[in-house]
Amino acid sequence: MADQLWETSPHLALRAGPDFDLAALDRSSTPGFTGRKSDGKARVDERGDLLNELQERLFADGRYGGNRSVLLILQGLDTAGKGGIVRHVIGMVDPQGVALASFGVPTEEELANHYLWRIRKKLPGPGKIGVFDRSHYEDVLVTRVDGLVEEDVWRARYDEINAFEKEIVDSGTTIIKVALMHSKEEQAGRLLERIERPDKRWKLSTSDLETRKKWDDYQAAYEDVFRLTSTDHAPWYVVPGDKKWYARVAVTELVTQALIDISPQWPKPRWKPEVQRRKLLATVDPELVDDLVEAVQEQLEDAKAEHGDFLAEKARVAALRQRDNGHRAPAADEQPNDGSAAPTDDEAEPVSSEKKSKKKKKRKKEKKRAQSKKSKKRKK
Ligand code: ATP
């Protein structure tokens, strides 16, 4: 099933390898994406429901003993757009399921410890989506560029970081490493905006201009990061950053795909629904029981329709990755384990958003009709 907008999955289009050539990266390009800005923005919005349900499933799974989590690592120079990714992409899901950590200049206590000490403390727990705004990679970037430690010290860190990330992945966390790489000219424009606009001035730090002077050193340091730490267990996705909308749609897709690969299932309750139902209804006024059951039945129908949409959308997104990678099948083995409300993947048909809203309207109309019938009956 082809995706009209992604002609190549961002996993393939953006992944860095051992020969990665950063100088050759066109910072205003939109690898893999065929659409324009409006398509990109619309696609991010469209992914909201799917991302939300995936995140909620992950969270629920974590509550019931699952060990899976996601860690999105964001790197980039000042004004690269890290904050925008957090707001526009991660902002689409329930904040209760998100663990955001920013890593600035280390405190005295942090400096007294191993550089991974402060990172370990912020790793996402089960069911969480962790987001690192800067990370342990600063310890091979700013540390190297500013000569804060000897060369043999930072050089040894690449292998150490690879081993550290392997440990994290083996414990159940999917790592998505995103580097937002904007051009020097684009950075000048964004910094100037921060200087000129009173509502943006608070974002500018005078050290940003000092860092800008070291642009080339940073590019060299970043290139080594991509070449030496883009592993199979935790690959780097190097995202051209001049078009903010592209970076957002690309990261949205990367995160959605990562959650689909995990395919979190609704946990099975440790209690029997029929027993709990009987106990609950025994506490309700008998005259109200029928109405209550009927109302919940209607909600169930709605949930069933929504669930169908979710599964169809999930299969559609997974198909893009499957097509590019050849070996990655969508999570078609998913069997809803939450009773009869949800159709299986086989039953779920792809539903366009137009069809979806028509279906919703129809359901609403039917509901209204049933309600007015009921109230007429009561009046009689
Ligand atoms: P940002 O620029 O990320 O939006 P900010 O300007 O608000 O954030 P902070 O988050 O307080 O600033 O700190 C970011 C700064 O901290 C960056 O200049 C970064 O290079 C520096 N930094 C991060 N980690 C380290 C480290 N391990 N050693 C030295 N400096 C670091």
232, pLDDT greater than 90: yes
- Number of DSSP helices (H) and strands (E) in the chain, helices first: 14, 5
User: Residue 38: pLDDT band by 50, 70, 90 thresholds?
Assistant: very high
Which of 103, 180, 214 is the best mutation target for the ligand 1 pocket, counting ligand atoms within 8 Å of the beta carbon and taking the most? Answer: 103
pTM of the predicted model as reported, rounded to 2 decimal places: 0.86
Atom of ligand 1 nearest to the CA of 110: 27
324, pLDDT greater than 80: no
CA distance 350 to 358: 14
- In degrees, rounded to 5, the angle at the alpha carbon of residue 125 between the alpha carbons of residues 179 and 159 is 45
Is residue 113 within 6 Å of ligand 1 at its C-beta?
Answer: no
| Nearest CA, atom 5, ligand 1 | 104
Q: HEC profile for 18-59?
A: CCCCHHHCCCCCCCCECCCHHHHHHHHHHHHHHHHHHHHHHH
282, pLDDT greater than 70: yes
333, pLDDT greater than 50: no
371, pLDDT greater than 70: no
Q: What is the pLDDT of residue 297?
A: 92
Residue appearing with tokens 């010290």: 153
* C-alpha 145 – ligand 1 centre gap (Å): 13
Q: What is the pLDDT of residue 364?
A: 59
Residue 10 burial (CB count, 10 A)? 25
Q: What is the pLDDT of residue 323?
A: 72
Q: Note whether 74 and 127 are within 8 A (CB).
A: no
Local structure of residue 332 (DSSP, 8 states): T
User: Residue 357: pLDDT band by 50, 70, 90 thresholds?
Assistant: low
What confidence tens digit (pLDDT) does each residue in 100-137 have? 999 999 999 999 999 999 999 999 999 999 999 999 99
Which of 136, 138, 148 is the best mutation target for the ligand 1 pocket, counting ligand atoms within 8 Å of the beta carbon and taking the most? Answer: 138
Local structure of residue 15 (DSSP, 8 states): B
353, pLDDT greater than 90: no
Q: What is the pLDDT of residue 316?
A: 83
Cα atoms found within 13 Å of the Cα of residue 154, Cβ hemisphere only: 19
Q: What is the pLDDT of residue 310?
A: 84
- In degrees, rounded to 5, the angle at the alpha carbon of residue 245 between the alpha carbons of residues 139 and 193 is 70
Is residue 205 within 6 Å of ligand 1 at its C-beta?
Answer: yes
User: Residue 360: pLDDT band by 50, 70, 90 thresholds?
Assistant: low
Where do you find CATH 3.40.50.300 in the chain?
2-262
Q: Which two tokens stand for residue 247?
A: 């970076």
Distant-in-sequence, close-in-space partners of 142: CB < 8 Å, separation ≥ 6: 148
The alpha carbon of 262 is separated from its chain's Cα centroid by a whole number of angstroms, namely 12
Domain 2-262 has CATH 3.50.50.60: no
Q: Is the dihedral of CA 58, 359, 305, 308 positive or negative?
A: negative
Share of the chain above pLDDT 90, in %: 77
Range with lowest mean pLDDT among 20-24, 152-156, 266-270: 266-270
Closest C-alpha among 74, 49, 75 to residue 129 = 74
Is residue 142 within 6 Å of ligand 1 at its C-beta?
Answer: yes
Residues belonging to the chain:
380
245, pLDDT greater than 60: yes
Pairing type for strands 173-181 and 69-75 reads parallel
Residue 333: helix, strand or coil by DSSP?
coil
CA distance 247 to 245: 6
Closest C-alpha among 342, 319, 341 to residue 331 = 319
